Amino acid sequence: MLIDTHAHIYDPQFDTEAMLTRAEAAQVSQIWMPNCARETVPGLMALAEQYPDRCLPMMGLHPAYVNADVEVELASVEDLLNRHAFMAVGEIGLDFYWDMTYVDQQFAAFDTQLRWASAQQLPVSMHTRSGHDRNAFAEAADMIEKLALPNLTGIFHCFVGTLDEARRAIDMGFKLGIGGVATFKNGRSGAPGLDKVLPHLGLEHIVLETDAPYLAPVPHRGKRNEPAYLRLIAQRIADLMHVSVDDVARHTTANAQALLPALYANLLPG
């Protein structure tokens, strides 16, 4: 049994039934859905209502979607967080890769949403993509350490950092979300390669994710990604860490379950 801790399965390019059937066949029993912005809310909520025990919703404003409408976007997130149950605040964070126009607003939105997560005792799913000669992981970690909010935990989604950065995330009480990049020969552009990092980490610090429809693992690299491919990622991690794929499944599922707020914790067999 595997948990995909980060997948945008409300993306319109999916035939939902077929995609979920393939996920089930691959023993992916639960899929966590990060929100991006107001435009993705209807699709996300529809899936969460239709498959309440399989497709778990997060709510948040994605940093790459922060623009001049940031106040309206955040008001929508806050309103939804107050009216519905969500398993996490996400995805939130810093994106220096695409566009630096609204970087100040990105920091403000990240700060605000971290505070909401802490106040509601929800974990966070964090996007930290570097670019323009700035390290998004380091700046996010600096901010979290400075804020020192109570009850704050979660996942550094799509972790591609160094061993030192992995240890810093772990020391801060966070899990590392490992996805298709682990199967790439050269990691992601500028990253050291997870093959140099994962062998030095314990399984207790890792959760699995696809980030579908993005970042498909080898041999599907460059194509549309989907939760059924999570098994390929689990196998790659098992190979890199010299453990069995069953060990990877058991640990990463337990790690993910431990992050779930009480309302969702009874969905899976203990």
The contact set with Zn ion (CB under 5 A) reads 34
Query: Which CB atom, from 34 or from 180, has the smaller least distance to Zn ion?
Result: 34
Q: Cβ of residue 8: shortest distance to Zn ion, in angstroms?
A: 6
Q: How far is CA 210 from the centre of its chain?
A: 9
The candidate with the shortest Cα–Cα distance to 109, out of 94, 119, 96, is 94
The candidate with the shortest Cα–Cα distance to 238, out of 209, 267, 195, 191, is 195
In the chain, the amino acid numbered 179 is G
Q: Cβ of residue 43: shortest distance to Zn ion, in angstroms?
A: 14
Query: Which CB atom, from 62 or from 241, has the smaller least distance to Zn ion?
Result: 62
Query: Which CB atom, from 127 or from 251, has the smaller least distance to Zn ion?
Result: 127
Question: Pairing relation of β-strands 55-59 and 28-33?
Answer: parallel
Angle at 266 between CA 260 and CA 268, to 5 degrees: 85
Q: How many CB atoms lie within 10 A of CB 179?
A: 30
Q: How many CB atoms lie within 10 A of CB 87?
A: 24
- CA 124 – CA 93 distance, rounded (Å): 9
Query: Which CB atom, from 34 or from 154, has the smaller least distance to Zn ion?
Result: 34
On the CB side of 7, CA atoms within 13 Å amount to 35
Q: Cβ of residue 128: shortest distance to Zn ion, in angstroms?
A: 11
- Element (H or E) spanning 128, and its range? strand 124-129
Q: Cβ of residue 58: shortest distance to Zn ion, in angstroms?
A: 10
Q: How far is CA 30 from the centre of its chain?
A: 13
Query: Which CB atom, from 93 or from 241, has the smaller least distance to Zn ion?
Result: 93
